[in-house]
Every structure is written in C-alpha cells, then in structure tokens.
Amino acid sequence: MGFFRVMVGNKFTILATNGAENGRQLTSKSEAVAFDVYDRTIGQMVARDQQFEAAFDFCASRLAMDAAHALQ
C-alpha cells in the first residue's frame, strides 16, 4: 500500500504520517495521525505534526508570500 502525499504548488509536499509517537512513518490518509510539510526546493521538512488543514494553510500562505515578494 502506498502513502498519501499532496503536492502544493511547485514547492511543497504534504505527507501523511503516523505521528511523532510512532516514529513519523509515512502512511495512507485513512491511517494518518498527522501531516508533515516537505519543502522540495531546500530538501527538508519545514512543518511537522500538523492537521491537514493547517499544513495546507501553511503551504498556501508561504506560496502567497513568495509570490508577493517576487512582485516587489
């Protein structure tokens, strides 16, 4: 069985995990306890143990800040 991931924009990937207490192993969405945000541009996790909505909001706000910064 595969693991759940959502690519957000060209920068972030949200990964489903079984949470910190269980070693943060990748899981399917139905088995997920938490969601981690991976920044593909720097190759590291930037947020851990979030609810899915919070992880998605984190990605969206960072992408919006990057877009606004690019316009300045």
Q: Would you call 65 exposed, middle or buried from its count of C-beta atoms within 10 A (0-12, 13-18, 19+)? A: exposed
Rounded Cα–Cα distance for residues 69 and 41 (Å)? 17
- The torsion angles phi and psi of 2, rounded to 5 degrees, stand at -85, 175
Rounded Cα–Cα distance for residues 29 and 15 (Å)? 9
pLDDT (tens place) for every residue of the chain, 72 residues total: 689 999 999 999 999 999 988 899 999 999 999 999 999 999 999 999 999 999 999 999 999 999 998 888
Q: For the chain, what are the domain ranges? A: 5-71
